[in-house]
Amino acid sequence: MATPAVMPSFSDSDRAELAQEADALIQRLRRHGRGEDGSVTRLVYTAAWQGAMAEIEDWFRSAGLPVRSDAVGSRFGRLSGDSPEVVLSGSHIDSVVRGGAYDGVLGVVIAGCAVHWLDATFGRPKRTIEVLANCEEESSRFSCNFWGGRAMTGRILEGESDRLTDPEGVSIGSAMRACGLDPERIPEAERADLVAFVEPHIEQGPVLATAGDVIGVVDQVVGVRGLSISLQGAAGHAGTIPMARRRDALTGAAEVVLGAERIAKEQGAPAVATVGHLTVEPGGFNQVPGSADFTIDFRHPNEAALDRFEDSLLRMLEKVASGRELEARTRPLIGQPGIRFDDHVCACLETACQEAGVAWRRMPSHAGHDAQLLGSICPAAMLFVPSQGGHSHRPDEYTEVVHIGYGIEVLARTLFRLAYQD
Amino acid sequence: MATPAVMPSFSDSDRAELAQEADALIQRLRRHGRGEDGSVTRLVYTAAWQGAMAEIEDWFRSAGLPVRSDAVGSRFGRLSGDSPEVVLSGSHIDSVVRGGAYDGVLGVVIAGCAVHWLDATFGRPKRTIEVLANCEEESSRFSCNFWGGRAMTGRILEGESDRLTDPEGVSIGSAMRACGLDPERIPEAERADLVAFVEPHIEQGPVLATAGDVIGVVDQVVGVRGLSISLQGAAGHAGTIPMARRRDALTGAAEVVLGAERIAKEQGAPAVATVGHLTVEPGGFNQVPGSADFTIDFRHPNEAALDRFEDSLLRMLEKVASGRELEARTRPLIGQPGIRFDDHVCACLETACQEAGVAWRRMPSHAGHDAQLLGSICPAAMLFVPSQGGHSHRPDEYTEVVHIGYGIEVLARTLFRLAYQD
């Protein structure tokens, strides 16, 4: 493929105006699901979600992009090209419980602004471009594991719409029907027309902000494994059991917590390991803990490195358990392989960064994203903008307006290559 | 004081018969508050407690010991002597929630059997002997911190009977009234006539069983301190926060858990330290813990050693917190000084063990007992019998019948010295 030419124009004032438009829209959208503490809780198929989707639809239309919904309620703002092949860009609309205003939705807004500008500047593209407002990514109401992305990639199983229920016992199928969507039609959401997907997203971590970089070209999503571990010892009186005779499940768990941290640090970045959940029984302040239950989440781009981590972890666990006469049981909690994104889409993003003159870096994503699924059916990659303080999934999630502007420019330059030139 | 003479007679058949009587009574008493799993829940001033107290009263009377109740409902079976000075022996009737059949009540039964035998064998003593069935020790219904012992030592404060309430909101005063006891008369329970107290009790730990010893001569109760500790870090995404940038409250807590264990082991037995309670927030398996709250219970006979432990602990905590950029807050949870028991009463117990020909050892108690309070108003000590497996406060609490027999013999020999000879 020929090296793409530089896109003719994107001025400082274009960038500033688009960034202002994007930021204003983000502030309007945060009303949908806003909590008293400024948090956003916008769960799929709720009134807050419907309000946000309606506002997105209005905005797509006002930008001259006709809108359609797929069978699961994801919205697509369409800029038709000479070819029906679709270059897709965007992200998700739903949030976690008590999350912020940027995760997911900023990607929709950046894509919408970029496509609006391309349309206004260059008119009809060679390939069709669609802006994606994906219905569901966070699994925060149903354990639905990328509902929107699975619909587009044909991975929702028969019967899932009845089986998956929210904490109130409402099935995802009946929640769909309450939004005017027919679960019987889910298979129609599968896409065969995609030729590229680019997902803009907040980084959710501190790497860009710390390095002073403005754009992350995400060339892979790391794999995730999770284990649930139970250590059984012997409960007893905190006074009467001498130290030498204890089978304290919590001191064992503490060794494993620190051991998992040590293994991750020895493997070195980008390996991470986290014990996020831990409970102790019986739990009285004057009782030696008889059992400790906890989880370990570990991530690495490389499957072989995940295997090595798991081996080291299990060996360490066995050593701790036998040294303290504890019984250890493990069961798998999650096992999500990573994905390496498309070289050409990554190269387009890099060239766009160079043309825009921004500080950028290649980086992996350590969180799961829609692009992980869509990347299995078409060439894909992601573009990160900085998260202030590295925060996400919290009310104080924030991305500076100037960074939003560069995100729009880099995406516009990338989509220009993918839809107007390639 | 002259070395006491050997008690004239205590035959193998005496021991066997008394042990059988004691064991049969324990089995009858376990009906009062029995749970389906064989546990005993006998909380002060409940119907189960009243049933057990009525059965104890009947037994005292059938042994020829007149019974009286004090103002808080503790029962005393009295063997009058030439002098009104009282040598007191016994323990408590109440249990923990889902406890066993031996903790507390076995001490009442051992004392009753010993005094019954002394009366039958030697008749009227020089000093009066009373068998104590103490109303409350476990703080398992009200946080009343040795209600019976505090009544006898004049330490119940004005207004406490209204202030202390159970989980249903019933005040201890109204619970007393429901048992026919008048809280206004609590001050009348204070004793000025005690010249000695000997408390038989199950060990609640594994020391005797492990060493093959039958009797523990308890010469001190260790002091207890408790701290509540809160570590604050920063919550975050388990994938996106690199290891080097984490402020993980749980890895910090794990270091403190192991640090407390290390300090206790370095101080050496009898020092013990326990983290029994630990919770983590936000607690999701894929979230770096932002806060960890836990308790530390540490015990040692020596106040200076407790001070050293606390100093080491706080220094270690500060080091962990500063090394991981966590904020640590501590508040005191409990601070109960220890007590060293009376040399003469301990010597009487030792001589009694030697005469009975049992394997015995001096030892501290690492759990709190009535004798801690009574030891502040008269010479006191304790006698431990083995707990099978070191278990207590559980349904499978058990002391072998043969050990109960030796407990009765050693106590009888001790009370002989204290009431018939001294």
Nearest CA in chain A to B275: A285
> Is A245 buried (19+), middle (13-18) or exposed (0-12) by CB count in 10 A?
middle
Q: Is A224 at the interface with chain B, CB within 8 A?
A: yes
- Kindly indicate the confidence band of residue B1, based on its pLDDT and cuts at 50, 70 and 90: very low
Mean pLDDT of the residues in chain B: 94
Q: CB-based contact (8 Å) between A38 and chain B?
A: no
Specify the pLDDT at position B220.
93
- CATH node for B12-221+338-421: 3.40.630.10
CB B265, CB A272: distance < 8 Å: no
Amino acid (1-letter code) at residue A330: T
Q: Which tokens hold the place of B307? A: 């001070």
pLDDT per residue over B317-348, tens digit each?
999 999 999 999 999 888 888 899 999 999 99
Contacts of A279 in chain B (CB under 8 A): 279
Contact yes or no for B96/B140 (Cβ under 8 A): yes
Q: Do B239 and A222 touch (CB under 8 A)?
A: yes
Structure tokens at B142: 């009200």
Whether a cis peptide bond, with omega within 30° of 0, leads into B270 is yes
Q: Please give the pLDDT value at position A2.
A: 39
Q: Does A209 contact chain B (CB < 8 Å)?
A: no
Cβ of residue B254 closer than 8 Å to a chain A Cβ: yes
**Residue (of B169, B172, B152, B225) closest to B44 by Cα position:** B172
Question: Two tokens at A350?
Answer: 């890099």
CB contact under 8 A, B272 and A210: no
Render pLDDT for B235-291 as a digit per residue (tens, 0 to 9): 888 998 889 999 999 999 999 999 999 999 999 988 999 999 999 998 878 889 999
Q: How far is A152 from chain B (nearest CA, A)?
A: 25
Nearest CA among A94, A62, A89, A65 for reference residue A77? A65
Q: Which of A16-20, B167-171, B410-414 has the lowest mean pLDDT?
A: B167-171
A115-124, A141-150, A166-175, B257-266: least confidently modelled range: A141-150
What is residue B156's predicted lDDT score, i.e. its pLDDT? 96
Within the 345-364 window of chain B, which residues sit less than 8 Å (CB to CB) from chain A?
none
B24 touches A at CB < 8 Å: no
For residue A336, the SS3 value is strand
Cross-chain Cβ contact B278/A250 below 8 Å: yes
CATH code, residues A223-336: 3.30.70.360
Average pLDDT over residues A360-374: 93
User: Taking CB atoms and an 8 Å limit, are B289 and A271 in contact across chains?
Assistant: no
The per-residue b/e assignment along B100-111, b for 16 or more CB within 10 angstroms, e otherwise, is: bbbbbbbbbbbb
- With an 8 Å Cβ cutoff, are A207 and B242 in contact? yes
Asked if A287 reaches chain B (Cβ–Cβ under 8 Å), the answer is yes
Contact flag B265-A254 (C-beta cutoff 8 Å): no
Beta bridge pairs of residue B226: B297, B334
Is B2's pLDDT higher than 80? no
What's the pLDDT at B97? 83
Rounded mean pLDDT of A217-221?
96
Domain ranges of chain A: 12-221+338-421, 223-336
Q: What is the pLDDT of residues B185-198, one digit of tens each?
A: 999 999 999 999 99
Interface test with A, best of B274, B288, B293 (most A CBs within 10 A): B274
On whether ipTM exceeds 0.85, the answer is: no
Q: Is the pLDDT of residue A3 over 50?
A: no
Cα–Cα distance, B414 to B199 (Å, whole number): 11
Which single residue is written with the structure tokens 């303080």? A389
Name the band, by pLDDT with cuts 50, 70 and 90, for residue B96. confident
pLDDT digits (tens, 9 = 90+) for A106-136: 999 999 999 999 999 999 999 999 999 999 9
The pLDDT assigned to A394 comes to 84
The reported pLDDT for the residue numbered A1 is 35
Contact across the interface for A276 and B289, Cβ inside 8 Å: yes
Cβ neighbours of A269 in B, within 8 Å: 242-244
Taken in order A299, A304, A310, A313, the sign of the CA dihedral is negative
How far is B184 from B147, CA to CA, in rounded Å?
15
